[in-house]
Structure 1
């Protein structure tokens, strides 16, 4: 038996069998957003920043933020967007260039508006978003639903409508709303984030402009139960880190809640760590494939200028991206066989290994296998194990990492020599 925060096994099973509520459809983000985000942080970093603001520790003691942290500015955004376009990211589907925390000041104007840090963004946000739009990108911006952002700048509590109006006036297309300092509001997490849903709905009525709305609800992490009625994407787990252990933890969580993700509303597994830390190419390949096929938003969270060619090719795999961006099938891949563990096992150190889901229509099935073992193994499974495959049919099989057709399968499938932490992904086409 497994246990997820805030929900029992039996309750989860009942919810998974029930029909999930139709997602809040604000006309954007039918498929998961793709793009770039300036930084990601760990929970240790969040806690260190709280201690830093309270004077408990010195700035030299705080945990390292991922890549850019607060060291962001207008030139970084312009350079990153230009590099991403030149490298082929825009053509591949990475549309959004998102500015995370630290773009603003700690105070507001006398009439309640946020103040852009002019030392970091001297040309102003309108000029920056116009530049991004001119390249073909869309622009995203961050705020916190509490009194302060995670880094201690002005939060949005009580100013949601003003901020939403400003974001649209500044030319933004996407907003990420965090949850670091909302303790002064006594409502539920759902009601807190609903304030931004209401504000964005009103701004759309006033201007005709919809912003993609993604939220980060921590630390209870149950947003998939109410997020589909609130936002376009909701975080499902603690902040990602550039290590294999955290990637496994997040994927384990995702394996139980795929029924909550569909068109216009997406489980968000957090940003991509490709290019960060010491992830091997096999781990980067597995990380990217799992996030894409779980239909998570795909947001690059590294210094693009320092990405190796191998890492770039992983992030640009068109056959993997096509499944993430499928406009015919909104449901993500889900586990059909756990492999080492008994089916249904909650194990953050060894998640489900075999996943499947329809692609384009019910005659095409995507299959993913990840080798969580520490040794090379063979892949094999019986087709009837997957609810998306028919035991009495023959399938043409395409390998999405070799980019080639590899033959046919009927009743049983075998593929040998999968290295530790590596992945296999296929399309099975009914013949």
Structure 2
């Protein structure tokens, strides 16, 4: 194991804690997108109970993330963060114990600056003290934001250094208490390419601003993912922000993702191995919403215990390969898994279209073999594929397929090579289709 939150730039090598903390993406609930600051203990426990009642806890969403606005605006005389007694009248320890009695682990939020983005106390200069408080309250996961940062002449360090302060505090706390380290998720927004360095400090890193519940926002995030998917692995992964499945949203354009757009949203986030935090009101969840979020065929790829890499594009589709286009991201994706070769195909158009690909466009496919085809949305075996697959996909919809070797191609299959332009006879002359 290599727990990335213990790898310190410019520091002596740190012995790894071989306990699996942070190996796989987090699944859970986050309070921000639904409530922002307008919540209390009763409201949040109702969300947790709804997750239990709808089978989402059983599906693996076992973290409950308390985002911004949980504290008073001022620290105590001793410098400690103080939980808002109006929001948590029974105390923060009681709140996390109630979550744990339902089966959840508890996560909390702070900031690398003077204040959080909502204007509450940040942790700059209080890293060790705040860790003691959160640990005492019963939290073991930290989302760490990037607002209200001190002047450069104060910090004399860049964003990496400010996050490293918390990493070192986590290491010291874990060592002194002989307990597993609090997991650290960097909410840096992507402006300093955290996919390059984030794995040295935390178990995930945000790659953009806050998500919005409409297609153009999802397409833009998937476009960004098209270029950085390969940075994900065990203990370190891109975080594409919360799941908006089932959220009606506000603002312009309006929310209300279509069912097919919601499926694409969930599929892309899960297969790209992003943390999966629900950002919707689960007390109002419809059967359609639950059917998407609890898709165990998709979730098992996200939670694959043997393959940490995300899927990645093998062809763009509407644009030439490697085109940066927020409205039309890569359409054809593939990757390996413990359960077979994964393919994701996204229709970025506003109309249905038939989409096809050659199997050997995927690096994970063996040439000259036939493959069984399993549809991870219909949950059906759909025969075998020889050389290519064609699927019809609704507007902004997705196809998610799992392929497994079903034996050699039939004798006499032509052309002799699926990628015929690369093949040659034994005498050294190229084969021509």
TM-score range, shorter chain: 0.7 to 0.9
Paired with 2:57 and 2:192, the residues of 1 have a C-alpha distance of: 31
Q: 1:130 — aligned with what?
A: 97
How far does the alpha carbon of each residue in 1:108-138 deviate from its partner, in whole angstroms, 9 at most, with x for none?
1111110100000111111111111111110
Paired with 1:88 and 1:196, the residues of 2 have a C-alpha distance of: 35
Match of 2:261 among 280, 283, 293: 283
State the secondary structure of the residue aligned to 1:379: strand
CA RMSD of aligned residues (A): 1.4
Paired with 2:207 and 2:190, the residues of 1 have a C-alpha distance of: 10
Paired with 1:388 and 1:410, the residues of 2 have a C-alpha distance of: 15
Paired with 1:242 and 1:23, the residues of 2 have a C-alpha distance of: 32
| 1:120 is aligned to 2:96 | no
Q: 2:414 — aligned with what?
A: none
What does residue range 68-217 of structure 1 map to in structure 2 within 5 Å? 68-184=35-151, 185-207=155-177, 208-217=179-188
Higher relative contact order (CA 8 A, sep 6+): 1
Preserved CA contact (<8 Å) 1:221 1:235: no
Q: 2:373 — aligned with what?
A: 397
Paired with 1:186 and 1:312, the residues of 2 have a C-alpha distance of: 48
Bigger radius of gyration: 2
Q: 1:355 — aligned with what?
A: 333
| 1:409 is aligned to 2:360 | no
Paired with 2:388 and 2:333, the residues of 1 have a C-alpha distance of: 15
Deviation at 1:219, TM superposition (A): 6.0
Paired with 1:312 and 1:229, the residues of 2 have a C-alpha distance of: 35
Paired with 1:206 and 1:119, the residues of 2 have a C-alpha distance of: 33
Deviation at 1:22, TM superposition (A): 8.1
TM, length-normalised to structure 1: 0.86
Paired with 1:249 and 1:22, the residues of 2 have a C-alpha distance of: 30
Count of aligned residue pairs for this structure pair: 382
Structure 1 unaligned blocks of 5 or more? 1-20, 41-66
Preserved CA contact (<8 Å) 1:168 1:209: no
Paired with 2:381 and 2:277, the residues of 1 have a C-alpha distance of: 29
Match of 1:228 among 184, 194, 199: 199
Q: 1:336 — aligned with what?
A: 314
Structure 2 unaligned blocks of 5 or more? 7-16, 248-254, 407-433
Paired with 1:69 and 1:390, the residues of 2 have a C-alpha distance of: 49
Preserved CA contact (<8 Å) 1:147 1:154: yes
Paired with 1:245 and 1:221, the residues of 2 have a C-alpha distance of: 23
What does residue range 364-379 of structure 1 map to in structure 2 within 5 Å? 364-379=340-355
Preserved CA contact (<8 Å) 1:333 1:357: yes
Paired with 1:392 and 1:347, the residues of 2 have a C-alpha distance of: 35
How far does the alpha carbon of each residue in 1:26-68 deviate from its partner, in whole angstroms, 9 at most, with x for none?
641211000000013xxxxxxxxxxxxxxxxxxxxxxxxxx21
Q: 1:346 — aligned with what?
A: 324
